[in-house]
Chain A
């Protein structure tokens, strides 16, 4: 090799049948999770239920989807076999999503509440009372 710097120091071991077994096991896990998700999605449609229970089921489906993502990235994309430093440079920035999702869904919900409680008459009759409150921002 002419290059002084080697890109890859250690290669992953090729592996044989146990790798294929792992792939098949992951496939089965992904399929089963998908079937459970579909069952819950259809259940919300077919069986009348309280809004709270529906929300709970939706939460469970979200968690199951994150589990699917974990299996795809960890096993199919082999991220689990890389060095920890490399994993962290990819996973750590994605934590922004926690704030991103919470902030924007809160914002959307706030729009809904403001629209639903907004009344044009109120703002016409009482503009003087609202003016000072707005300046404080």
Chain B
């Protein structure tokens, strides 16, 4: 390839040009994402440390088994799979928008950015439902010899080991689980959800700018590329949130 040959022959560090061959904003976006990776990494590792220090930790298949409009059907991981696929698909539409930008295809950029924004909003809606379900979904738990109905919050966790007592409805009664479960779950998925929210806002701004022809006048769609990097990073973080909270 001609470009590859040119790359090899170029003296990148002899001055007069950017030694990394990228625009300043894109380079800084990469470094921001690296630092953000450390932030999320620290959160997830902290979660792992606390989880390793506990004798009992709730099984995600039992906690996350609900689906909207499915009543009390036991559908472990079904809803979170849907959320994961929504985010993967919105990442794909984003990369198609970046590709359309490389080809100066204004209509393509607008079309794929609209799909990306829709995907982001769908993901946030799913997360809102999941949070509401966890907080308001109450379970019978044996606390100090009495049965109480509690939902999952940052101070209460009904997902402990089962007690040797049957509730009046025939369901087995649990004991309180580690409180850190709710704190880490809402803290980390909330921090990720806030990234998704800001990503959606950034994508909407990019969509409006593309519609107004701002990038067409500039002669390049680099801004779409930078927004795309951020959006893919949000998807990347979800891969690990999904791994740590739902799969293992």
- Which A residues lie at the B interface, using CB under 8 A? 4-10, 12-16, 19-20, 23, 27, 30-31, 34, 37-38, 40-42, 44-45, 58, 61-62, 65, 68-69, 72-73, 75-77, 79, 82-83, 85-86, 89-90, 93-94, 96-97, 100-101, 104-105, 107-109, 111-112, 115-116
Contacts and interface: CB of A to CB of B under 8 A. Distances in A.
- Closest 5 A-B residue pairs measured CB to CB? A108-B52, A45-B61, A108-B49, A111-B53, A108-B53
Nearest to A115: B53
Given A20-B96, A94-B37, A109-B52, A82 B22 contact: yes
A21 to B, nearest CB: 11
Interface stretch (B133-141, B155-163, B229-237): B229-237
B146 interface: no
A89 B34 CA distance: 10
A12 B171 CA distance: 61
B19 interface: yes
Contacts of B46: 104
B49 A65 contact: no
Contact of A23 (B37, B81, B95, B240): B95
Given A61-B243, A82-B20, A83-B20, A73 B51 contact: no
A9 to B, nearest CB: 5
Contact of A10 (B6, B30, B50, B60): B6
Contacts, number: 162
Contacts of A96: 38
Contact of B18 (A6, A23, A44, A116): A6
B83 to A, nearest CB: 11
B17 A41 contact: no
A104 B34 contact: no
Interface string B127-158: 00000000000000000000000000000000
Given A7-B22, A42-B77, A86-B27, A105 B48 contact: yes
B165 interface: no
B10 to A, nearest CB: 7
Given A69-B239, A108-B49, A9 B34 contact: no
B69 interface: no
Interface in B81-96: 81, 84-85, 88-89, 91-92, 94-96
Chain A at the B interface: SS class: helix
Given A7-B24, A62-B248, A94-B37, A112 B96 contact: no
B195 interface: no
A116 B240 CA distance: 30
A121 to B, nearest CB: 20
B23 to A, nearest CB: 5
Given A10-B7, A19-B99, A65 B239 contact: yes
B247 interface: yes
A116 B70 CA distance: 41
B102 interface: yes
B41 interface: yes
